[in-house]
Homo-oligomer: A and B are copies of this chain.
Amino acid sequence: MKYLNSLLLAIPLSIFLHLSDNSPVLIFLTACLSIIPLSGYMGKATEEIAIYVGPRVGGLLNATFGNAAELIITIFALKAGLLEVVKASITGSIIGNLLLVLGLSMLLGGFKYKTQKFNRAVAVMHTSMLLMAVTGLIIPAVFLNTHSNPAAEPLSLGVAAILMLVYLLSLIFSLHTHKDVFRPSQESSDKPKWSKLKSFTILLIATFFVVIESEFLVAGIEPVVKTLGISELFIGVIVIPIIGNAAEHSTSVIMALKNKMDISLEIAIGSSTQIALFVAPLLVFIGYSMGQPLDFLFTSYELIVIIMATVITAIISMDGRSNWLEGAQLLAAYSIMALAFLFV
């Protein structure tokens, strides 16, 4: 977190560059950098507030605002009509959490401990949930093929509604009927470190700046595409998810280094599931209400990486053990995908 804090300097810098009408590419870069620590503070403050309000509501809070920074960025992208960027960043969040975050956690954790163990039942539960969610994301694209299909809107809305319903059911499951199964993750947050007032103030300030920086970032996408020759798809799949989740990622790695792989897995797989079951459907609803018809018709590139990432994670987490080589495999799969998106 210490290293991340220095990135906060990017906030005034980006605002200065914006006010002085400087290069949009520079504004884009500083906005990216500033979102990294800001999303960390949003997450930390949410966790603190979650402790004050008790496990039920707290769990709900964490689940709902866990991907808040990313949600804000994508809402701005949606508003700007960058529908492909929005879908790309949904894709990127899923594969980033599954391959990059989990891979880094297993690799670094595996350097310290020869074999790390985790609860296989919980891993299977997360994985099966993810697989179901992925089915929802895949089916519309396979069935409709083209955006101009008049069924794209009703089918996307219908699928979004089903996914959201499953998300609500999963909250009831993990916070109510089977809350004992998820105990390990709650251990780590017993005593609050910040006062209530401090938590709320930080959450408010961090959210305020994330909103501003997200607007800068989204405004910079087109200039960056033109100037640097990187595709929108690459920015959506690789860049946005990394900056939106960086703080969360570092938590996952830290837990792996403490040999608490259950928490690492929950962050990585749980976060992917949340993107697919909650953020993606929410964006579809917001999109249609805004007149920006975001559908679930992902490109075949996106579909294949989501499927492969899900299956690899399922197989790797199925035996309840991890080691550094499994981490390296996940990172290698991520690198291959990132490389491929660079060339599309």
- Name A residues whose Cβ lies closer than 8 Å to a Cβ of B: 114, 120-121, 124-125, 127-129, 131-132, 135-136, 138-140, 142-144, 151, 154-155, 158-159, 162-163, 165-166, 169-170, 173, 177-178, 300-301, 304-305, 308, 311-312, 314-316, 318-319, 321, 323-326, 328-330, 332-333, 335-337, 339-341, 343-344
Contacts and interface: CB of A to CB of B under 8 A. Distances in A.
With most chain B CB atoms within 10 A of its CB, the pick from A136, A169, A318, A336 is: A336
Given A178-B114, A301-B143, A315-B314, A339 B158 contact: yes
Given A143-B344, A170-B325, A304-B139, A332 B155 contact: no
Contact of A140 (B127, B144, B159, B340): B340
Contacts of A321: 121
Contacts of A328: 166, 169
B308 A173 contact: no
Contact of A329 (B129, B151, B336): B129
13 contacts: A120-B319, A127-B315, A128-B329, A129-B329, A135-B308, A135-B312, A139-B304, A139-B305, A144-B343, A163-B332, A165-B332, A166-B328, A173-B324
A69 B314 CA distance: 35
Nearest to A145: B300
A140 B308 CA distance: 13
With most chain B CB atoms within 10 A of its CB, the pick from A124, A316, A340 is: A340
Contacts of A124: 315-316, 318-319
B335 A173 contact: no
A335 B135 CA distance: 11
A139 B173 contact: no
This chain: copies in complex: 3
Nearest to A339: B158
A28 to B, nearest CB: 25
A274 B135 CA distance: 24
A339 B157 CA distance: 11
A300 B132 CA distance: 19
Given A124-B318, A332-B162, A308 B144 contact: no
Contacts of A127: 315
A173 to B, nearest CB: 4
Contacts of A155: 339-340, 343
B128 A316 contact: yes
A177 B326 CA distance: 13
Q: Which 7 A-B pairs have the closest CB atoms?
A: A151-B343, A132-B329, A124-B319, A173-B325, A143-B340, A142-B304, A166-B332
A261 to B, nearest CB: 15
With most chain B CB atoms within 10 A of its CB, the pick from A128, A144, A314 is: A128
A312 B132 contact: yes
